[in-house]
Amino acid sequence: MKKLLFIISIMVLISGCTTIDPSYVGADRDTFEALHIEYLAYVDANEDIDQDQKDRRHRLIDSWRIRIEAAEKGEEEEPEKGEEEK
């Protein structure tokens, strides 16, 4: 059990140390901007989807936007190449 907890702890630490390629974040933002308005209009107009399902789809889009914004903020906080902390 202790070994399992140790392995999980290491995995959590490693996953927290990753950065996302800025080109991926930009592409994800572009995809979001191209799709989210039209998708939500489709969801809202679809009479086959009940309100709970519509709410979940809206939350999905909100969480996608929040992840993009967090990744963009992370990019701003990273020092540029050649400007390491002294």
pLDDT at 86: 42
pLDDT single digits (tens) 39-85:
999 999 999 999 999 999 999 999 999 999 999 988 665 555 555 54
In a domain, 62, yes or no: yes
Q: Provide the residue range defining the domain that includes 66.
A: 18-76
Distance of CA 79 to the CA centre of its chain: 21
Q: Is residue 10 in a domain?
A: no
Does residue 57 lie in a domain region?
yes
pLDDT, tens digit (0-9, with 9 covering 90-100), for 10-48: 665 555 556 778 899 999 999 999 999 999 999 999 999
Residues, the chain: 86
Cβ neighbours around 32 below 10 Å, total: 17
Q: Give the C-alpha separation, 45 to 64, whole Å.
A: 21
How many domains does the chain contain in total?
Answer: 1
Give domain status of residue 58, yes or no: yes
∠ CA 43-35-20, rounded to 5°:
125
